[in-house]
Amino acid sequence: MASEELNGKKFTQMVLSGAHHLKNNAEKIDTLNVFPVPDGDTGTNMNLSITSGADEVKKLKGENISEVANAFSKGLLMGARGNSGVILSQLFRGFAKGMDKKETLSAEELANAFDNGVATAYKAVMKPVEGTILTVAKDAAEMAVLESETEKDVIVLMEKVVREAKASLKRTPELLPVLKEVGVVDSGGQGLVTIYEGFLAALKGEEVPEAETDDIEMDEMVNAQHHKIAQDFMDTSEIEYGYCTEFMVRFEDEKLKEHPFDEETFRKELSEHGDSLLVVSDDELVKVHVHAEYPGEVMTLGQRFGSLTNMKIENMRDQHTAIVDGEKERATQAGRTEYGIVTVAMGSGIKEMFESLGATVVLEGGQTMNPSTQDITEAITGANADNVLILPNNKNIVMAAEQATDLADANATVVPTKTIPQGIGALLAFHPDATIDENGEAMEAAGKEIKSGQVTYAVRDTQINGITIEKDHFMGLADGEIKASHKDQLETVKSLLGEMITEDDEILTILQGEDASAEDVKVIKRYVEDNYKDIEIEHHKGDQPIYSFIFSVE
Amino acid sequence: MSIELNTNDGQVTITNDVISTIAGGAAVECYGIVGMASKSQIRDGIAEILRKENFSKGVIVRQVEDHLHIDMYIIVSYGTKISEVAHNVQSQVKYTLSKSLGLEIDSVNIYIQGVRVSKD
C-alpha cells in the first residue's frame, strides 16, 4: 500500500499510536535513565508529555494536518515534563511550524518538517549534549531529508526514519561516556524511537506491537539497574537480598493452561521475593532479573509457566565482602601506624586545627597548665605508632617532653616548638615518607621560620626590657619577648605587628582567642589591609584562653 | 567565602568560584536554557549572556550556617515550558554538585532574567 501524502486524519492516528506505544514502554525507558540525572523518570516524563499532546489532538476533528500538528505541539508544550519532555515539545513545535495551514504533506514536506523540528530543538540549548534524544532526532531527520529526494512514498520514508533513529540510538553510548560506562543506550533517545515506531505502525495501518522487547535489551536494563544499586551501596554494607538472579522461562502450552501467564501479576509476585526487579516478556519467553535472598523460590515461580534457560546466579555478599575486606585490611594496618604525632594545645579551635593537620593526639595544656611527663608518655603510647614526634608548643613543656621520650616504648623525638604557630608550621613540614630524624630536622627548621606573636593582659605591674607594664594593660609578645604594652588592645596589636611584619612576609594568621570578639578581628584585619598591602590574612577561631590573639607571620 | 570539608587525610577547601563554575556548567547543559545572565544586569549590561569565565556573576552561592543555597540567573529559550526548564536546571545542578563535589545543596533558586526569541 503506497501513500504519496500524509493527511490530518492519518497524522492524528500516528500521534495516538505513538503515545500509546510510548505508554507501553515507559517503565522500561525509565530503567535506562542514567543521564543527565539518574532518577529513572524519562519514560514517565515523556509519557506524560506526549499524552498531553495526544489529548489536544483528540479534541480536534482534524482534517487539516497543520491544525493537528499545531494542536499536538501545543499539548506537548503545556504538558512538557522533564528534560526529554521539553525537548520533545520543541521537536514538534518546529515540526508544526512552517506548515502554513497545509491540508496534507508530501514525503518531502514531511522530511522538512522533521528537519525543522530538529533545527528548533537545537536552538533552545546553549550547549547541546550529543548522544541524547537530540542526536537521535537529528540523525533521523537528516536521513529523511536525504531519502525524500528520491523517495516519494511517505510510509517507506517513515520506515527509513525509524531505521535510522534506531541505528543512531545504538550509537549513543559512543557519544556519551556515561552511557557507555553503564552499558545502556540513551533513555530519551529510546523514547523517541518508540514514538516513531508508533507513528510507523499507524501509517501502515497496523496495531502497535505489544510491549516491544527487542529494542531495549534486557542486558541494558540490568546494567542500568545494577548501576543504581552500586550507587545505593556506597553508604551501606547491608545487603538484604544476597543473590543476583537472572533467568528466562520458555513458555510451555501445557503449563500455561494450568498457570496462565500475566506479566503484571508475575512481577508483583516476584517483588515480594527481592528487589532490583526487571521482568520482560513476549509470546514465547519471559526474562527475569532480580536480587533475591532465595533464588530457588524465584525460579520455582517461573517454572510454573515453562522451562528455565540461561540461568545465572551471583552471590552479591561475597562480591561485597571482598571489597569490604580489602578496606578492613587497610584499616588494621592503620591500627599501628609508622608515624604518630603528639602535640600540646589549648583551646578547642586550635585542637581541631592540629587534628585536621594530622596530629594523632592533642594534649590539653599551655602556658599556665603544663602537661606532666606522665601525660606525655601516655599520649605517646596512645598514638600507637612506631615513631612518635612530639610538638610541645611551649618552652616550659619541652623539658617534660624530652623526659617522656626516655620513658616511652616507641621511638620518640621532640621537635622543640615554643609556640602554637611554630607547632602548626612544624606540623605542615611533616612528611610521612621521610625518616624520623629527617622529619625532626625539617619540622624544627620549619617551626623556626615562623614568627609568633601573642596578645594577653598583665596580671601585675612590672618592668621588662625597658617596657613599663601596668596591671590589666595589654601586652604583646613576639617569640616570647614582650615588645609592646598599652592599655588599649588595638594599640598593642598595632605595635606588636609593627615589630613582627617585615617586607619579606606574606601571610599573617590570626588565631582568635575565647575572649576576643569578631568585631576586634574585623578591626585588626582592616588595619592590616590598610597598612600592609602585600600581606594575606588568614583567620581561625582558636578559642584559646589567656591569649586574646595569637599571630603567626611567615 | 569557601566551603571546607574535613576528610581523614586532611582538609579540602572549595571556593565559591568552583561551585559556581560547576553549577553554571551543569545548567548550560540543560535543555531550554540559552545562557547564564548576570545577577546585576544594570551594572553588567542588560541580560548579557555570560561566558564561562563569568559564571560566578550569575551563580550566587550562599552559605547559611551549615546549609548551602544557590541562586542562578538564567536566560531561557522562547517557546519552552519555563517552569519545567527551571525545574530541570534545579535537579541537574543539585545532582552534578553532589556527584562532583559531594556537596548537598539545600536549595537551587532560579531567576529567569530573560527569554531569548529566536529569529525565525
User: Which is more confidently placed, A94 or A326?
Assistant: A94
**Lowest-pLDDT range, A214-223, A239-248, A414-423, B14-23?**
A214-223
For A6-224, the fitting CATH number among 1.10.150.120, 1.25.40.340, 1.10.1530.10, 3.30.420.40 is 1.25.40.340
Helix ranges restricted to H, A358-480: 373-382, 395-407, 420-428, 436-449
* Share of residues in chain A with pLDDT > 90 (%): 25
A330-445 fold:
Rossmann fold (3.40.50)
Q: Which chain B residue is nearest to residue A428, measuring alpha carbons?
A: B10
Q: How many CB pairs under 8 A join A and B?
A: 73
Q: Which residues of A touch B31 (CB under 8 A)?
A: 83, 86-87, 90, 124-125, 134
Region of residue A458 (phi > 0: left; psi between -120 and 50: alpha; otherwise: beta): beta
CA distances from A187 to A29, A35, A112, A229 (A): 6, 8, 25, 18
- Number of C-beta neighbours around residue A323 at 10 A: 11
**Contacts of residue A375, Cβ cutoff 8 Å, sequence gap at least 6:** A363, A365
Using an 8 Å CB-CB cutoff, list chain B residues near A337: none
Q: Which of residues 73-102 of B touch A (CB under 8 A)?
A: 77, 79-81, 84-85, 88, 91-92, 95
Contacts of A85 in chain B (CB under 8 A): 84
B43 to chain A, minimum CA–CA distance in Å?
Answer: 24
Confidence of residue A95 (pLDDT cuts 50, 70, 90): very high
Please give the average per-residue pLDDT across A513-539, as a whole number: 85
**For A36, which of B6, B80, B92 is closest by C-beta distance?**
B92
Q: Which helix (H) or strand (E) holds B68?
A: strand B67-77
Higher pLDDT among residues A382 and A14, named by residue: A14
What DSSP letter does each residue of A194-240 carry, written as one string?
HHHHHHHHHHTTPPPPTT--SSS-HHHHHHHHHHHHHHHTTT----S
Evaluate whether A389 touches A341 at the Cβ level (below 8 Å): yes
Asked if A77 and B79 come within 8 Å (Cβ–Cβ), the reply is: yes
Residue A49 and residue A82: Cα distance in Å, rounded? 9
Domain regions of chain A by residue span: 6-224, 237-317, 330-445, 451-553
A352: closest chain B residue by CA: B6
| Residue A213 pLDDT > 60 | no
Asked if residue A151 lies in contact with residue A160, where contact means CB atoms within 8 angstroms, the answer is: yes
Which residue of A lies nearest to B36 if distances are taken between CA atoms?
A126
Is A90 in contact with B92 (Cβ distance < 8 A)? no
Record the cell numbers describing residue A466, joined without a space.
625597658
Strand partners, B6: B11
Q: Which fold has domain A237-317?
A: Alpha-Beta Plaits (3.30.70)
Tell me the average confidence (pLDDT) per consecutive run of 10 residues in chain B, 120 residues long.
77 86 88 82 57 74 85 90 92 90 89 78
Q: Which residue has the higher pLDDT, B52 or A208?
A: A208
Taking only the tens place, the pLDDT of each residue in A455-502 is 888 877 877 777 788 888 888 888 878 888 888 888 888 888 888 888
Instruction: Report which residue type is found at A399.
Output: M
Model-level pTM?
Answer: 0.57
For B11, counting Cβ atoms within 10 Å of its Cβ (0-12 exposed, 13-18 middle, 19+ buried), the class is exposed
Asked whether the beta carbons of residue B118 and residue A123 sit closer than 8 angstroms, the reply is yes
Residue B33 C-alpha cell reads as 536554557
Whether A125 and B88 lie within 8 Å, measured CB to CB: no
Asked whether the beta carbons of A507 and A513 are under 8 A apart, the reply is no
Smallest Cα distance from B95 to chain A, Å? 6
* CA distance readout (Å), A289 to A265, A276, A278, A299: 16, 7, 5, 11
CATH class held by domain A451-553: alpha beta
The pLDDT of residue A4 is: 83
Domain B2-116 grouped into CATH 3.30.70.1350: yes
Q: Which of A275, A290, A209 is nearest to A238 (CA)?
A: A275
Digit-coded pLDDT (tens) for A141-154: 999 999 999 999 99
Q: Crossing angle of helices A348-357/A420-428, nearest 10°?
A: 20
* B81 vs A37, A86, A120: nearest CB: A86
Contact A86 B11 (CB under 8 A): no
Nearest chain A residue to B96 by CA distance is: A37
Cβ neighbours, 10 Å, residue A242 = 19
CA distance A428 to A519: 30
Domain spans of chain B, in order of start: 2-116
Neighbours of A462 (CB within 10 A): 14
Average pLDDT, chain A: 84
Burial profile B49-82: b = 16 or more Cβ within 10 angstroms, e = fewer:
bbeeebbbbbbbbeeeeeebebbbbbbbbebbbb
What are the residues whose beta carbons fall under 8 Å from the beta carbon of A49, sequence distance 6 or more? A76, A79, A80, A81, A82, A84, A85, A88, A89
C-alpha distance from A124 to closest chain B C-alpha (Å) = 5
Which comes out higher in pLDDT, residue B113 or A210? B113
The partner residue sitting opposite A124, judged by closest CB among B10, B80, B91, is: B80
Region A265-273: mean pLDDT is 86
Side-chain-side CA neighbours of residue A365 (13 Å): 25
Length of chain B: 120
Q: How far is B25 from chain A (nearest CA, A)?
A: 9
Q: Do B79 and A120 touch (CB under 8 A)?
A: yes
CA distance A69 to A95: 7
Cβ separation of A86 and B120 shorter than 8 Å?
A: no
Amino acid in position A413? T
CA angle at residue B87 from B85 to B92, to 5 degrees?
A: 95
| pLDDT at residue A19 tops 60 | yes
When scoring B31, B78, B85 by the number of chain A Cβ atoms within 10 A, the one with the most, hence best to mutate, is B31
On whether any CB of chain A is under 8 Å from the CB of B13, the answer is no
Largest CA distance in chain A: 113
Block residue for cell numbers 598514638: A383
Q: How confident is the model at residue A233 (pLDDT cuts 50, 70, 90)?
A: very low
- Residue (of A405, A436, A401, A439) closest to A418 by Cα position: A401
Residue A227 corresponds to which cell in the numbers above?
548501576
pLDDT-based confidence at A191, cuts 50/70/90? very high
Overall average pLDDT of the A447-451 stretch: 84
Residues in chain A: 554
Cβ contacts of B33 on chain A, cutoff 8 Å: 125-126
Half-sphere exposure of A248 (CA within 13 A, CB side): 14
Subunit contact A83:B118, Cβ cutoff 8 A: no
Output the pLDDT for position A328.
Answer: 54
pLDDT of A161 over the 90 cut = yes
| B109 lies within 8 A of chain A by CB | no
- B96 to chain A, closest Cα gap in Å: 8
Q: Which residues are B115's β-sheet partners?
A: B76
Distance CA B103, CA B106 (A): 10
Partner residue opposite A86 with nearest CB, options B10, B31, B91: B31
Q: How many whole angstroms separate alpha carbon B79 and alpha carbon A90? A: 8
Q: What is the ipTM of this complex?
A: 0.78
Nearest to A77 among B29, B81, B91 (CB): B81
Neighbouring CB atoms inside 10 A of A545's CB total 16
A552, A348, A346, A550: which is closest to A456 by C-alpha?
Answer: A550
Q: Which one of A74, A122, A127, A182 would you mutate to disrupt binding with B, by most B Cβ within 10 Å of its Cβ?
A: A127
